[in-house]
Amino acid sequence: MNIYQAYVDNGNKTGFFISSDIWSKVIAHITKVQGKTFGELIGRPPYYGYPKVFANLYKLDVNKNQYTLAIENIVLSCPDSYTYFIFNGQNFLSDRETSALARNE
C-alpha cells in the first residue's frame, strides 16, 4: 500500500504509524498529507497528485527495546511506493513520547 491509500483507509486522517519493507528498525508517525491532518485528498487515486507527506521518524533503540524519536517533521520521499504497511505495534514508545503524542492529537 502507498501512504495515500493508508491515509484514506485511516478514515481520511493522519495519526497512524507506518513502516516499510526497506526500512530497518524505523517507523513513521504520519502527521500531514496534502498539508492537512484530516479530510478527503484532492486528485485521482491512488496518487492524488503526489502531495507531500510529513512525518516524525522513530528508530528502534535496541538497548531499551522501544522506539525513540529520531527526526521530527520530515518530508517522506516516495510516499507513492507500495513498500509501506501499517505498523500496529504496542508499547513501542517511551512514556514521555506517548504523552507528547497525546497532547498533539
Instruction: Give tens-digit pLDDT for 36-84.
Output: 999 999 999 999 999 999 999 999 888 887 889 999 999 999 999 999 9
Domain residue limits at 47: 3-104
Longest dimension (CA), the chain: 44
User: Total structural domains in the chain?
Assistant: 1
Residue listed under C-alpha cell 505495534: 89
Can you give the pTM of this predicted structure? Answer: 0.84
Confidence of residue 88 (pLDDT cuts 50, 70, 90): confident
Q: Tell me how far apart the alpha carbons of residues 24 and 105 are, in angstroms, rounded to a whole number.
A: 27
Stretch (H or E) spanning 95: helix 95-104
pLDDT in tens, 19-42: 999 998 899 999 999 999 999 999
